[in-house]
Structure 1
Amino acid sequence: MDLKFGIFLIQIVIGTIGNFSLLCYYIFLYFNGYRPRSTDLFLRHLIVANSLDILSRGIPESKAAFEKKHFLDDLGCKCLFYLHRVGRGVSITSTCLLSVFQAITISPRDYICSQLKLKAIKYMHPFIILCWVLHLLLASRTLERIIDKGNKKNFSRTIDFQHCSAIIPNNDSGMVFAAVTLSHDILCLQLMIGASGFMVFILQRHKQQVHHIHRHSSGRSSAETRASQSILALVSAFVFFYTVSSTLHACLALNDKTALWLLNATVLISAGFPTISPIILLSRECSLTRLISKK
C-alpha cells in the first residue's frame, strides 16, 4: 500500500465517521424535541450527498489499495461514478442554498433580503427536491461515458481511473452538456461568494452595533453569528477544494496521456471537502449545543 492510498483511506475513515456522527446528532435532536433551525434541512442533505461522494470513490480506491484493481465490471463502474456525480452535484447545490438561505436569515429588517425570509422558508423543501432531481438527471450522462477496464471497444480518447475509464466526448452534444454543467457550477460558486460576502458585511456591521452591549443580552445574535461563521468556513473550504479539483480534472481531460501523479492528486483533492466539512459542522454544533444548554 503506497502513501497515496494510505492518505485516501484516512480521508475515507474520517469523512465516513464524521458524516455518520452528524447524522446521528440530528436524529438525536429530532427525537429529543429540539426545534430545527431553518438551515438544518440543507445540512442534512449535504451530509447525505457528502457520504455518497466519499463512499462511491472510497470503495474502488480501497479495493485498489489492496491490489484488487480490476474488480468492477461495466455496471459497477457506471453505478459508482453515477452516485459520485450525484453526490458531488447535490453537495455544491446544497452548499449554495445553505449560504444563500443563511444570508437571507441574518439580513436586517431594513434590507430587501429580509422580505424574502418567509418565502425562503416556504420553498426550502421544493428547492432541495429540485436539487436532487436535477442532479439525478444530469448525472445520467455518466452512464454513457464510464466503461470498465475490460471494454475492448476502440475510443478516441479516454481517462484512465485505474479501475474504470471515462470516455472524452468529441461530438457537439458532449460539449454542450459539459457547458451546461459548468455553467451550473459557476452560477452556484458565484452565489456562494456573493452570499458569503454579504454575510461578512452583516456580521461586521452587527459586531460594531453590539460592541457596547452586555454579552448576556445578545444570546440570539451569538447563535446566528456562530452559525454564519461556520457556514462561511464551510463555503470557503468548498470553493477551495472545488476550484483545485476542477482545475485538475481539466488537466486530465486536456492531457493525451493520463499522468499517474495528476490522477492521484485529483482523487485526493476531490475527497477533501466531504472529509473536512463534517469536522467544521461538528465544531459548530458543539458550540451551539453549549450555548443552548446555558440558556
Structure 2
Amino acid sequence: MTSNDMVLGFLFVFQTGFGVLGNSFLLGLYTIIFFTGPRLRPIDLLLIHLAFVNDLVLLSKGIPQTTAALGFNNFLDDAGCKLVFYLHRVARGLSLWTTCFLSGSQAIILSPRHSRWEKIKARIPKGIGPFCFLCSAFHLLIYYSILLHVKGPMEIKNITERNDFIYCSATFDSSYAAIQSVFIFSLPDVFCVGIMVGTSGYMFSVLYKHHQRVQYVHGNNVTPRSSPEARAMQTILALVSMFVSFYSLNSILALHMYLGKPKSWLIHISAFLAACFPACSPFVIIVSDSQVSKYSVILWNRIKFLVQQNPEKHS
C-alpha cells in the first residue's frame, strides 16, 4: 500500500463520513419533527427524501471506493458488485430527480399570482408522495440492465468488451451496446438537468423583479436576504448549481470510462466527484435554510424540558 493509496482512502473516508453525518442529521431532525413537532412544509418532505437517497449514494459508493483505494480490490463477488452498482445508480438518479422537483416546485411557488402556474401551486403538496413513489419505481426499472452488465472482478470470462472499475467490471457485447446503454441512462438525467437550469433562471428573474419593486417602495434599505422567498430561492439555486457542476464533470468522466479502458486514478476522481453533491448538499441546507435552525431549537427545548421533568434519571 503506497502513500497515495492512504491519501485516497482518507479522502473517501472523510467525504463519506462528512456527508453521511450531515444527511443523517437532517433526516433525523425532520423525522423527529414530523412525528412530534410543528407541521412541516411540503418542501421539507422532499428534503427528507433527498437526505435519505444521498445517504444511499454515499454509502454505496464511498465504502467500496475506500476499500479499493486501500488496495483491497477483490472484496466483492458477482452478486455484491451488482447490488452495489445498482443501488448507487438508483440512488443517484433519485437524488437528481428530487433536486429537479425541488427546483421546479420552488419556481412554481415563486411565480406571480394569476399566472398559468396558479392552479398547480395548490397541488404540489399532494403530489410529493406520488412523485417519490413513482420516481423510485421508475429508477428501479430503468436501471435493471445494470444487473445484467455488471460483474465481479473474478467473474470475467470470454467477453468481447470489458470496462474495469477496480473492484468490479462492466461487460458489453460491443462498443455500440456500451454507447446505447450510456445514452439510455443519460437521457432522463439530461432532461432533468435542463429543467433545473431553466427553472433556476426563471427563479432568478422573478426574484430580481420582486426585489426591484421592493426597493422602489421601501428605498435601498431592503436587501434580497430579507425576504423568505429570497432565502428559499438561494438554497435551491445553491443546490442546483452544485449538482449541475459536479454532475457535468462526472458525466464526462463516466462516458470516457464506459467507452475505453479507464485508469485507476480516473476512476477514483469520477467516484469522488459523484459523491461531492450528496456530501455537501446537507450543509448547504443547514446553513441557508432558516427552518432547520428553527426545528433544531424546538427539538433542543423539548429535550431540555424532558430532562427537567425527570431530573432524578439524569443525576
**Is the TM value for this pair above 0.5?**
yes
Matched, 1:52 2:61: no
Residue of 68, 89, 100 corresponding to 2:72: 68
- Please give the secondary structure, in 2, of the residue aligned with 1:158: strand
Q: What's the CA shift string for 1:50-69, capped at 9, x where partnerless? A: 11111001121222244322
- 1:35 is aligned to 39
Residue of 142, 151, 155 corresponding to 2:155: 151
Shift of 1:174: 6.0
Note the 1:215-294 alignment, pairs <5 A. Answer: 222-255=227-260, 257-286=261-290, 289=293
- The RMSD of aligned alpha carbons is 2.7
Aligned-pair identity in percent equals 37
Name the aligned partner's letter for residue 98 of structure 2.
S
Take 1:87 and 1:49, find their aligned partners in 2: how far apart are those partners? Answer: 5
Change (3 A) 1:247 1:51: same
Change (3 A) 1:40 1:250: same
Residue of 127, 130, 135 corresponding to 1:126: 130
- 1:20 is aligned to 24
Take 2:219 and 2:188, find their aligned partners in 1: how far apart are those partners? Answer: 45
Shift of 1:203: 1.0
Take 2:78 and 2:7, find their aligned partners in 1: how far apart are those partners? Answer: 28
Shift of 1:169: 4.6
- 1:115 is aligned to 119
- Please give the secondary structure, in 2, of the residue aligned with 1:279: helix
Name the aligned partner's letter for residue 150 of structure 2.
I
Residue of 124, 129, 144 corresponding to 1:140: 144
Aligned partners of 2:16 and 2:279 also within 8 Å: yes
User: Where do 5+ consecutive residues of structure 1 fail to align?
Assistant: none
Residue of 180, 191, 216 corresponding to 1:187: 191
Aligned partners of 2:108 and 2:121 also within 8 Å: yes
Take 1:254 and 1:179, find their aligned partners in 2: how far apart are those partners? Answer: 12
Name the aligned partner's letter for residue 83 of structure 1.
L
- 2:86 is aligned to 82
Aligned partners of 1:169 and 1:175 also within 8 Å: no
Larger radius of gyration: 2
Take 2:294 and 2:43, find their aligned partners in 1: how far apart are those partners? Answer: 19
Aligned partners of 1:103 and 1:196 also within 8 Å: yes
Q: Tell me whether 203-212 or 272-281 shows the greater mean CA deviation.
A: 203-212
Shift of 1:31: 3.5
Q: What's the CA shift string for 1:272-292, capped at 9, x where partnerless? A: 111111111111234663599
Shift of 1:120: 2.6
Aligned partners of 1:82 and 1:140 also within 8 Å: yes
User: Where do 5+ consecutive residues of structure 2 fail to align?
Assistant: 298-315
Take 2:127 and 2:180, find their aligned partners in 1: how far apart are those partners? Answer: 30
Aligned partners of 1:19 and 1:47 also within 8 Å: yes
Q: What's the CA shift string for 1:170-218, capped at 9, x where partnerless? A: 2866655543322211110111111111110111111112224499x99
Aligned partners of 2:103 and 2:199 also within 8 Å: yes
Aligned partners of 1:74 and 1:147 also within 8 Å: yes
Shift of 1:222: 2.1
Take 2:175 and 2:267, find their aligned partners in 1: how far apart are those partners? Answer: 24
- Please give the secondary structure, in 1, of the residue aligned with 2:163: strand
Q: Tell me whether 107-116 or 281-290 shows the greater mean CA deviation.
A: 281-290
- Please give the secondary structure, in 1, of the residue aligned with 2:46: helix
- Please give the secondary structure, in 1, of the residue aligned with 2:93: helix
Q: What's the CA shift string for 1:86-123, capped at 9, x where partnerless? A: 10110111111110001111111032222311233332
Take 1:214 and 1:121, find their aligned partners in 2: how far apart are those partners? Answer: 35
Matched, 1:105 2:114: no
